[in-house]
Chains A and B, each alone.
Chain A
């Protein structure tokens, strides 16, 4: 199923869920509002002709120092029909409203969401076990934020760069 058809189908079932979209790029994407994300995700996985059963990648992105926004990008793929789609949703850096988790829909998201939280401090609501995954559990700050300043020491041990 091509991108336009998928978009139309989502628009039919969830009017107003698609806030923005772009089709004339290499990998077309849909911007889904935070509040509709879970329903749309379940629909994408379970609706017969779509069956996006495989979450390739979930990545957090800091949109830059001048913008007050963090983004989560979902790369979905259907092993059955061999089509893919990109979803994205956003939260603000100052408010940090939680993004609903999709880790119960695709278990692959579990560790990826932990990584997004670890690296960018994006909170995921409903995640069963939101701990740091790659950094030590008492590390300060979120390294992949664009305004992150490197730590000078860790547990009284000076870090040389």
Chain B
């Protein structure tokens, strides 16, 4: 097979007017459809697509026949950029992939570079505990957005405001820590940008005490709400074998009933020393792997993250407490030049398995290749499989339950 030829540039020189009138490129053509079917474009600027996702939906009345996702509207050439930057310089770019959980992106990337340099596991325990602490705080913030906007998709406005109110406290904490609200660049190769500010541990504990009852309120408001359950239970059921075959990960995979969490499986950083459960979908309201299960798994994960945060705070104030001599940048290598090798590193992000595949040639400070596996990328690809034959209104419920961040799908 030869490579399909691309359109010649001369032929595609359209006038400005023609270009504006040009319809969006679709996979299906009107001639191919049956008499009752029509193509409906949702997005890229539609609020329920959570960013710039475009869905080409073939509909038969109100029934969805086929969904084709079109992505790439937020493509910022991360992999190409990475090939011309040194490892510490790539770090801010990873912030901008999954911009709702920048800490976790930093963590995964840094872990890969440290493993290549051979300094993984040699860092002070305090550094590792702070890393876990801030990652879990960010995980809660990220899940709060997922839960709140999901309510918004279904038609409930209040949970959105409530979750954003609580997320604001985490944003303030992390801003105090790193100077930035969303894109932190806090976890560095071989250390941290800065030690915790004085008084952070106490404020963080106050937040945990404040936040616990709020989750109960949220559960009463939306999780057990009858209207919400009717809209989400038995909708978009994702069987386990399909989920595995499509490479779904994170809460998508767990909601389908598999107890799979890389924090446990790989046991990276100090996670083996911490106690937490792995919530899975049980099909309490309908079938295992439906939209409600995916929602519920995220709600439960917030609880587990709170547990981890409390344990981290406990260790950070006793065994590994602040000392005047502690320097979080002590082990930051002045020059990160790994030996010639390849490495696939993965970590559990709020959305699933975030992976980096590094190829280092050993001659330069820059990666020869830095391929990224965004969890949302694989999670989103399953949408056409689980959306056949459903109502159009349920499609919105399914997109919301996948919890995509387009910054990471398109990279």
Whether A134 contacts B1 by the Cβ 8 Å rule is no
Whether B9 contacts A140 by the Cβ 8 Å rule is yes
B311 at the interface (CB under 8 A from A): no
With a CB–CB cut-off of 8 A, which chain A residues contact B79? 119, 144
CA distance A139 to B25 in the complex (A): 13
B410 at the interface (CB under 8 A from A): yes
Whether B359 contacts A61 by the Cβ 8 Å rule is yes
CA distance A155 to B6 in the complex (A): 15
CA distance A29 to B343 in the complex (A): 11
CA distance A62 to B75 in the complex (A): 20
Chain B 335-357 against A: per-residue CB contact (8 Å), 1 yes, 0 no? 00000011110100000010101
With a CB–CB cut-off of 8 A, which chain A residues contact B353? 56
User: Closest chain A residue to B22 by CB distance?
Assistant: A155
With a CB–CB cut-off of 8 A, which chain A residues contact B344? 27, 56-57, 75, 86
A137 at the interface (CB under 8 A from B): yes
Q: Which of B13, B77, B342, B411 contacts A25 (CB 8 A)?
A: B342
Q: Which of A57, A130, A134, A137 contacts B357 (CB 8 A)?
A: A57
Whether A59 contacts B369 by the Cβ 8 Å rule is yes
Q: Which of A26, A54, A129, A155 contacts B244 (CB 8 A)?
A: A54
Q: What is the size, in residues, of chain B's interface with A at 8 Å between Cβ atoms?
A: 50
* Stretch of A12-20, A35-43, A107-115 on the interface side: A107-115
Whether A26 contacts B341 by the Cβ 8 Å rule is yes
User: Closest chain A residue to B355 by CB distance?
Assistant: A57
Q: List A residues 124-161 near B (Cβ within 8 Å).
A: 125, 129-140, 143-144, 155-156
With a CB–CB cut-off of 8 A, which chain B residues contact A53? 244-245
With a CB–CB cut-off of 8 A, which chain B residues contact A82? 265
A6 at the interface (CB under 8 A from B): no
With a CB–CB cut-off of 8 A, which chain A residues contact B385? 107
With a CB–CB cut-off of 8 A, which chain B residues contact A55? 247
Q: Which of B71, B343, B381 contacts A27 (CB 8 A)?
A: B343
Most buried by B among A53, A56, A119, A143: A56
CA distance A116 to B25 in the complex (A): 20
Most buried by A among B16, B371, B381: B371
Whether A123 contacts B2 by the Cβ 8 Å rule is yes
CA distance A136 to B70 in the complex (A): 10
B4 at the interface (CB under 8 A from A): yes
Whether B72 contacts A79 by the Cβ 8 Å rule is no
Whether B247 contacts A121 by the Cβ 8 Å rule is no
Chain B 233-259 against A: per-residue CB contact (8 Å), 1 yes, 0 no? 000000000101111000000000010
Q: What is the size, in residues, of chain A's interface with B at 8 Å between Cβ atoms?
A: 46
With A25-B341, A56-B355 known as contacts, the answer to whether A155 contacts B245 (CB < 8 A) is no
Query: Distance in Å from the Cβ of B175 to the closest Cβ of chain A?
Result: 32
Whether B369 contacts A138 by the Cβ 8 Å rule is no
Most buried by B among A61, A82, A133: A133
B334 at the interface (CB under 8 A from A): no
With a CB–CB cut-off of 8 A, which chain B residues contact A73? 342, 357
Whether B1 contacts A123 by the Cβ 8 Å rule is yes
Most buried by B among A62, A73, A86: A73
A98 at the interface (CB under 8 A from B): yes
User: Closest chain A residue to B369 by CB distance?
Assistant: A61
Whether A111 contacts B378 by the Cβ 8 Å rule is yes
Whether B12 contacts A155 by the Cβ 8 Å rule is yes
With a CB–CB cut-off of 8 A, which chain A residues contact B80? 143-144
Chain B 266-297 against A: per-residue CB contact (8 Å), 1 yes, 0 no? 00000000000000000000000000000000
Whether A108 contacts B2 by the Cβ 8 Å rule is no
User: Closest chain A residue to B74 by CB distance?
Assistant: A134
Query: Distance in Å from the Cβ of B8 to the closest Cβ of chain A?
Result: 9
With a CB–CB cut-off of 8 A, which chain B residues contact A10? none
CA distance A86 to B252 in the complex (A): 25
B160 at the interface (CB under 8 A from A): no
User: Closest chain B residue to A55 by CB distance?
Assistant: B247
Whether A156 contacts B265 by the Cβ 8 Å rule is no
With a CB–CB cut-off of 8 A, which chain A residues contact B357? 57, 59, 73, 75
Whether A107 contacts B369 by the Cβ 8 Å rule is no
CA distance A138 to B9 in the complex (A): 8
Q: List B residues 20-39 near A (Cβ within 8 Å).
A: 25, 27
Q: Which of A108, A119, A130, A156 contacts B247 (CB 8 A)?
A: A108
B377 at the interface (CB under 8 A from A): yes
With a CB–CB cut-off of 8 A, which chain B residues contact A59? 357, 369, 371
User: Closest chain B residue to A80 by CB distance?
Assistant: B244
Whether B378 contacts A108 by the Cβ 8 Å rule is yes
* 4 A-B pairs closest in CB distance: A108-B247, A59-B371, A134-B72, A98-B1
User: Told that A55-B247, A56-B355 touch, could you supply 13 new A-B pairs with CB distance under 8 A?
Assistant: A29-B342, A53-B244, A56-B344, A56-B373, A60-B371, A98-B1, A107-B242, A119-B79, A129-B27, A137-B25, A143-B77, A155-B14, A156-B13
Residues of B bordering A, CB below 8 Å: 1-4, 6-7, 9, 12-14, 16, 19, 25, 27, 71-72, 75, 77, 79-80, 83, 115, 242, 244-247, 258, 260, 265, 341-344, 346, 353, 355, 357, 359, 368-369, 371, 373, 377-378, 381-382, 385, 410-411
